[in-house]
Amino acid sequence: MQQESGKVNLNTASREEIGRIKGVGRDCAGRIIAERERRGGFKDIAEVESLELAPQTIRHLKERGTV
């Protein structure tokens, strides 16, 4: 789900919505959703750093994502 700020809420967005973030894609979005479900949601956007993704992907998630 995209918020008014234009950021994608990683706790509520679908795989397709997360996958539209530059550098993420559908497969990576699936991994993000799996981790979201495992954790019961993200509490802080900085938690994406623990996802073992490429540095540029983490940067894009922090720029375009919110929780």
**What is the longest distance spanned by two Cα atoms in the chain?**
29
- pLDDT tens-digit readout, 49-59: 888 899 999 99
- pLDDT tens-digit readout, 4-34: 578 999 999 999 999 999 999 889 999 999 9
- Residue ranges of the domains in the chain? 8-66
The whole model's pTM is what? 0.85
Tell me if 9 sits within 8 A of 66, measured CB to CB: yes
Handedness of CA 57, 62, 65, 67 (dihedral sign): positive
pLDDT of res. 6: 85
pLDDT of res. 17: 96
